[in-house]
């Protein structure tokens, strides 16, 4: 199965169809690997939107919102990896057949009607971000969704772990103090069922809020909304619940939508040599980051996580350089990173 076929598979849908009594060790290993890929899939589109903001200085609300959400999602990826290793599994991230491809669906068949793509920040991309995070039962809508949400999938995972608490061993747990990014963002050892339940609650409620409130129960700042509602503010252009308070989009670099398979390397639309060099530089750096993350949980080495975080910050420079290089189609749009995995 190649990368595109894997990305378009319905593994999560298939896992959710299995009866609760069949959700054993094997089921949990598969489910948590899919959870890891889901968390990874959110980061490239959010990062492209964040990096496309021209002036990150000052008190720009949209810039701050995206930054906060991205660090939340990084924590969620770490939590999902700790969930897999605590039951004896090993996360797989550095594999071209697994790494999410864009444009394409979310891994596993979650939100099958949604195509996730890479572009600069626009009203349309903010709506797409909100769709990724949409709760199964948001306070904005009375009816329930007819397809699996990320939150519903995590509910199935925690229910399976409640039925099999003996699987939780605390093996190869990677820890990191990230309280400076929010009250629920630190990576902590998951050694008990209670630890696991608390960690999954952070993932669900930071992204979706609760059935009663759009607030993030684990905020960086007071009054912070869960991701779904924060993205809706950006997409709708006004504060949640108060249309009189405008939330304007900041000035942005006009990154276009990355085409299927990435920007062309041959043919009439082949980028200039310096653009190709930037694309390749970014892809190599992103791939090295994924290999470091995978090794961190393979060894249970928290220091490697710090190294991975440093590598993540190095991605911004080539990404921003690409967003300043015009496409050859006179559209006024620019290039941007592809987030493609390449082997060393």
pLDDT in tens, 203-241: 888 876 555 568 777 767 778 898 999 999 999 999 988
* CA gap 154, 298 in Å, rounded: 23
Query: Per-residue pLDDT tens for 240-265?
Result: 888 999 999 999 999 999 999 999 98
- At residue 187, φ and ψ (nearest 5 deg) are -90, 120
Residue 232 lies in a domain: yes
What is the residue range of 57's domain? Answer: 3-255
Q: What are phi and psi of 239, to 5 degrees?
A: -60, 145
* Residue 328 within a domain: no
Query: What is the DSSP secondary structure assignment for residue 255, as one 8-state letter?
Result: B
Cis peptide before 147 (omega within 30 of 0): no
CB 86 within 8 A of CB 171: yes
* Measured distance CA(300)–CA(277) in Å, rounded: 34
pLDDT score at 223: 80
Q: Could you tell me what percent of the chain has a pLDDT over 90?
A: 70
The DSSP call for residue 180 is G
Q: Which of 295, 292, 287 is nearest to 339 (CA)?
A: 287
**Angle 292-324-71 (CA atoms, 0-180°, nearest 5)?**
40
Which regions of 90-248 does DSSP assign to beta strands (E)? 238-239, 242-246
Is residue 274 one of the residues assigned to a domain? no
User: Does 177 map to a domain?
Assistant: yes
Model pLDDT for residues 46-66, shown as the tens digit of each residue: 999 999 999 766 568 899 999
Structural domain includes residue 17: yes
**Closest to 23 (Cα-Cα) out of 204, 164, 201:** 164
Give pLDDT tens digits for 84-134: 999 999 999 999 999 999 999 999 888 888 999 999 999 999 999 999 988
Instruction: Establish if 212 belongs to a structural domain.
Output: yes
Q: Residue 278 is encoded by which pair of tokens?
A: 């930037």
**Measuring CA to CA, which residue among 315, 284, 72, 292 is closest to residue 174?**
292
Instruction: Please give the radius of gyration of the chain, using alpha carbons only, rounded to the nearest integer.
Output: 19
Whether the Cβ atoms of residue 94 and residue 290 lie closer than 8 Å to each other: yes
Residue 215 in domain: yes
Q: What is the domain count for the chain? A: 1
Closest CA to 134 of 117, 112, 119: 112
Q: Which tops the pLDDT comparison, 22 or 138?
A: 22
Q: Looking at residue 30, which CATH number applies to its domain?
A: 1.20.1260.10
In total, the chain counts a number of residues equal to: 344
Q: Is the pTM of this model over 0.85?
A: yes
Q: Is residue 322 part of a domain?
A: no
- Lowest average pLDDT, out of 125-139, 188-202, 278-292, 326-340, goes to 125-139
């Amino acid at each position: 199965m190649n990368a595109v076929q894997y990305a378009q598979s319905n593994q999560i849908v298939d896992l959710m169809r299995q009866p609760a009594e069949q959700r054993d060790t094997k089921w949990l290993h598969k489910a948590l690997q899919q959870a890891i890929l889901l968390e990874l899939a959110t980061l490239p589109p959010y990062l492209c939107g964040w990096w496309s903001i021209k002036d990150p200085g000052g008190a720009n609300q949209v810039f701050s919102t995206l930054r906060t959400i991205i660090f939340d999602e990084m924590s969620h990826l770490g939590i999902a990896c700790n969930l897999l290793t605590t039951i004896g599994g090993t996360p797989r991230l550095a594999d071209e057949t697994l790494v999410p491809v864009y444009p394409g669906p979310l891994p596993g068949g979650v939100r099958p009607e949604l195509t996730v793509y890479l572009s600069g920040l626009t009203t349309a991309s903010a709506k797409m971000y909100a769709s990724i995070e949409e709760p199964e039962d948001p306070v904005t809508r009375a009816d329930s969704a007819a397809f699996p949400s990320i939150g519903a999938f995590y509910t199935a995972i925690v229910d399976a772990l409640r039925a099999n608490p003996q699987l939780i061993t605390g093996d190869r747990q990677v820890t990191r103090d990230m309280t400076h990014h929010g009250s629920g963002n630190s990576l902590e050892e998951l050694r008990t069922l209670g630890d696991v339940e608390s960690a999954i609650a952070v993932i669900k409620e930071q992204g979706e809020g609760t059935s009663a409130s759009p607030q993030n129960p684990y905020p960086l700042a007071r009054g912070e909304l869960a991701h779904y509602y924060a993205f809706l503010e950006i997409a709708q252009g006004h504060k949640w619940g108060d249309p009189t308070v405008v939330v304007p989009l900041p000035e942005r670099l006009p990154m276009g939508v990355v085409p299927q398979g990435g920007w062309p390397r041959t043919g009439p639309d082949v980028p200039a040599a310096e653009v190709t060099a930037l694309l390749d530089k970014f892809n190599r750096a992103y791939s090295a980051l994924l290999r470091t993350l995978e090794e961190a949980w393979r060894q249970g080495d928290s220091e490697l996580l710090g190294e991975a975080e440093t590598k993540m910050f190095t991605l911004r420079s080539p990404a921003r350089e690409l967003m300043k290089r015009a496409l050859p189609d006179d559209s006024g749009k620019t290039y941007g990173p592809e987030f493609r995995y390449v082997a060393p």
